[in-house]
Amino acid sequence: MTGFAMAGKALTLLALLAVAVPAVAGPAPHYSVTGSITGPDGGWDLLAVDAASRRLFIARTANVTVVALRGAHRVSSLGAVDRGHAAVPIPRRRLLLVTSGNDGRARVYDTERGGLVADIAVGRKPDAAIWDERLAAVLVMNAQDGPCRWSIPFAGP
């Protein structure tokens, strides 16, 4: 068999597979908007869900919007920041770390009482942040000081 014949058979087989695979996958699921939650106007950035407390935390320009995800979807505000970028729930600790972009801080709030627990200098323009379970720490990325400038540990249960 020549190289052209083998290539032709391979292309035919690929074309048949390309047509057959979507047919096997079944119909695409249908999604639709079933409701809405009214919240305050204004800028927002990253958000996170705390599965244990069933709350959504949305980093906002001046604070964090908190949405209760069970019941009547009560909306409230938490803390004070200067251009909030990320809201990161700390698992099993009832704490929330929020990056405050314009003042170079990360603030930690008690999510039950609402009070400020810590105010940490984290360099210029803190932006995104994530929880790392293995390190038991929040990793903070800065827009001007490099990709991952700070690891903020949270010890204890």
Q: What is the pLDDT of residues 20-39, one digit of tens each?
A: 555 556 888 999 998 888 88
pLDDT of residue 132: 92
Buried b (16+ CB within 10 A) or exposed e, 58-80: bbbbebbbbbeeeeeeeeeebbe
- Domains of the chain by start residue, with CATH: 44-153 (2.130.10.10)
10-residue stretch averages of pLDDT, the chain, 157 residues long: 57 60 73 86 92 95 94 91 96 95 95 94 91 91 74 71
